Amino acid sequence: MLVKIKKFVSEVVVELKKVSWSTRKELIDATWIIILSSSFLGIFIAVVDFVLSKLLGLIIR
């Protein structure tokens, strides 16, 4: 059992050395893109929801 664990850990270390890690600047830029995209999408959904609810309110009256 201990041999299998050692083998697994060594294989994990080998695989982690193959990973292409992002730089700090790339990570910060990607984070800002996600924050801005999520904000714009949230605002868009809120506006569409508001407009559709008003239209539906006019139709139901």
CA dist 61 and 57 (Å) reads 6
Q: CB of 22 within 8 A of CB of 30? A: yes
CA dist 28 and 11 (Å) reads 30
pLDDT digits (tens, 9 = 90+) for 18-33: 999 999 999 999 999 9
**C-alpha count within 13 angstroms, C-beta hemisphere, residue 43:** 6
CA dist 58 and 44 (Å) reads 21
Whether pTM exceeds 0.85: no
pLDDT digits (tens, 9 = 90+) for 39-49: 999 999 999 99
